[in-house]
A = this chain, B = another copy of it.
Amino acid sequence: MPVFLDTTESDFEIEFARLLSAKREDSPDVDDTVAAIIADVRARGDAALIELTAKFDRLELAPGALAFTPEEIDAHCAAVPDAERAALEKAAERIRAYHVRQMPENALWTDPDGATLGWRWTPVSAAGLYVPGGLASYPSSVLMNAIPAKVAGVERLCICVPTPDGVVNPLVLLAARIAGVDEIYRIGGAQAIAALAYGTESVAPVDKITGPGNAFVAAAKRRVFGKVGIDMIAGPSEILVIADSDNDPEFIALDLMSQAEHDESAQSILITDNAEFGQAVAAEVERQLEVLERGAIAGASWRDFGAVIVARDLDEAAALSDRVAPEHLELCVADPLALSEKIHHAGAIFLGQWTPEAIGDYVGGPNHVLPTARSARFSSGLSALDFLKRTTLAQMSPQALRAIGPAAEVLASSESLQAHGLSVTARLRKLNE
């Protein structure tokens, strides 16, 4: 059973603070191992990749066979049943339609001082997506990472996906093809991140790396950050559901379990204004845990990190949610849009009883790569913007330089940066000749 809290009880603040600060992940310290792997790939390139793949993935790669050939991809894609293919295509179409709307506008204007100002967005030239192998090899994540990159205009998009013991997930290859991925390499781990960041004979370096991975991948991403851009380092998944009593306890219980089944460190929290409803959901969770295929995992998550919180009212529930800043937030209330306006910190909000979070994992349209571990306080889910950067533009007319140049001279002088000031002074002098 999870923890039950009630905001009217005297120890609520202590218990809620405990919930917020629960350490939900054991990150083994793999930094030294990862540093050695990166150095090895930088020094020996493909030879290191081949050796490390044999060691970690038990797979002998022939030199020059790190990438899947188009024919290999064809063959794997042909093996995907029609229902899966149609579902992936439907998902891709909806994800693309959503992310196209994120594309920002360029701007250029002339202001009253005569300065022409603006900015221009340009895509990253090359991006690499990491896709875990084995059990957590999710084709939906391929779509969610690759489509925003292609929408942004990334010219060269490659994937690294390990194939332990040579096992390939054909849905991953099909998702990559649907999303427009250009290259697919059968390498993984820190060695794949090193190859993407620094390049080898077979893998040209990229400018940005995104995608989830294990502790080795995460440590490698942290280490190459600066040399290339990276997305967030994702923690265990989370869901917070705010539900009034006018909901089906089964729906809510399944939504809570759909995060809990990801892994034992996931967190599922229900906040309700009705204690009886909270008990009903908790009872339904227990029933589901007995039959769910991943019940052992979900049960551990629910027991160790789950919570049912009874709040005085929905406003209090929203305020508590803001303190959690959840990755996923469901608002199962009569007017979910109105309640959503009281929320300031959440990765994604799912509005109303017909919007289970799982819709957002696959086919809703918005991205499922979202900030975890309270980082929704300061960061956003993956978007087309993550594959774009902005160059600012400024052009002074002679009039503009006359108008604002003197202020620059004063500030340069106050900062003791003489050449800064003189670069303005010399021009003003010439304008006054």
Q: Is the CB of B419 within 8 A of A257?
A: yes
Q: Is the CB of B229 within 8 A of A400?
A: no
How many chain copies? 2
**CB under 8 Å from chain B, chain A span 325-381:** 336-337, 340, 343-367, 370-371, 373, 375-381
Q: Is the CB of B83 within 8 A of A410?
A: yes
* A389 within 8 Å of B (CB atoms): yes
Q: Which B residues lie within 8 Å of A113 (CB)?
A: 94
Give Cα distance in the complex from A122 to B294, angstroms.
Answer: 36
Q: Which B residues lie within 8 Å of A375 (CB)?
A: 226, 229
CB closest residue in chain B, given A322: B125
**Contacts A117-B364, A394-B348 given; does A424 touch B261 at CB 8 Å:** no
Q: Which B residues lie within 8 Å of A258 (CB)?
A: 417, 419-420, 422-423
* A167 within 8 Å of B (CB atoms): no
Q: Is the CB of B376 within 8 A of A87?
A: no
Q: Which B residues lie within 8 Å of A101 (CB)?
A: 107, 109
* A43 within 8 Å of B (CB atoms): no
Query: Which segment, of A57-65, A68-76, A156-164, A246-254, faces chain B?
Result: A246-254
* A233 within 8 Å of B (CB atoms): yes
A226 to chain B, nearest CB (A): 7
Q: Which B residues lie within 8 Å of A138 (CB)?
A: 415
**CB under 8 Å from chain B, chain A span 209-249:** 226, 228-229, 233, 248
Give Cα distance in the complex from A426 to B107, angstroms.
Answer: 48
Q: Which B residues lie within 8 Å of A228 (CB)?
A: 378
Q: Is the CB of A91 within 8 A of B407?
A: yes
Q: List 15 A-B contacts (CB under 8 A).
A: A90-B404, A119-B366, A124-B378, A139-B415, A208-B378, A226-B233, A258-B423, A293-B416, A349-B392, A349-B393, A362-B411, A363-B407, A363-B408, A366-B393, A380-B390
Question: Besides A349-B391, A358-B423, 7 other CB < 8 A contacts?
Answer: A90-B407, A125-B377, A261-B419, A351-B395, A356-B424, A363-B404, A380-B389
Interface residues, chain A, CB within 8 Å of chain B? 83-84, 86-88, 90-91, 94, 97-98, 101-102, 104, 107, 109, 111, 113, 115-117, 119-120, 122, 124-125, 135, 138-140, 171, 207-208, 226, 228-229, 233, 248, 250-251, 254-255, 257-258, 260-262, 288, 292-294, 298, 336-337, 340, 343-367, 370-371, 373, 375-381, 383, 385, 389-398, 400-401, 404-408, 410-412, 414-424, 426-427, 430-431
